[in-house]
Amino acid sequence: NLVLSNEFEIKINQALLEKQQGQWQLQVDKSLFCEIFEEELHRSELTEHQQEKLRAIHSALSTGAVHLSAVAGAGKTFVALHLVLDELRTKKRQVLFVAPSLGLGFHFVRWLMQSAEEIQLDVLKRMVLMHYPYDSFLSLEVEGNRLKALPVAAAAQLEFSLLVIDEAHEIFRPGVNREFLEKIPTHQRVLLSSRSQASSGGLNFPQVPEVKLTQVVRSSKRIVAGA
């Protein structure tokens, strides 16, 4: 998420400036990053710990909402991927994925399509994206070999069976306008947050059941090396 949102690149270049090495600037190859990340994803299956937490999420969603928090490398987005796949395979309504950047949304949808080839067309029809500044719903289509996002024409008619909010710690920070969340027609919602990002305090998460991923299952050394 740090790479796709450009935060990783910005932080490294800021550090270079602070060390008076500003003549050097780093640029991350996101295409190579995604290829390596997706390769690792396809070799992976849910661990017993992740399966246990996925079952806990399904159970907690009977209340309407759940918060999945995780330490770095625990695979919260991977668990969310399986949650959305379950939703797409068993229900007919649309799923909304909210993230700070469009790149995160595209990456998540690509995972979905490659993880469930039998419902690829259904994924495109039923996944809707929203990103900062969170003021429009985006439908998806394929143009050549790339995903393309288009504003939804009849947004007032949308109704979602599931809302997934990635990087929720970015939305529930002090001073962030969250009124858009109240206007989203959804039956269930899942918040995904990083415990390291939330450790600074001051976050105002809603009072909903929390499921915690605590086992680190993926080392990012190879991913960073590829980037």
| Torsions phi, psi for 159 (to 5 deg) | -145, 130
pTM for the complete prediction? 0.76
Contacts of 72 (CB under 8 A, 6+ apart): 194, 196, 216, 220
**Using omega within 30 degrees of 0 as the cis cutoff, is the peptide bond preceding 206 cis?**
no
Model confidence pLDDT, tens digit, residues 97-154:
999 999 899 989 988 888 777 666 678 888 999 999 998 999 998 888 888 999 997 7
Give the number of other Cβ atoms within 10 Å of residue 17's Cβ. 13
Model confidence pLDDT, tens digit, residues 38-95:
555 554 688 899 999 999 999 999 999 999 999 888 889 999 999 999 998 888 889 9
Q: Between vectors from CA 19 to CA 15 and to CA 21, what angle results, nearest 5°?
A: 90
Residue 5 confidence class, pLDDT cut points 50, 70, 90: low
Which is more confidently placed, 48 or 27?
Answer: 48
Q: Which amino acid is at 86?
A: D
pLDDT given at position 92: 81
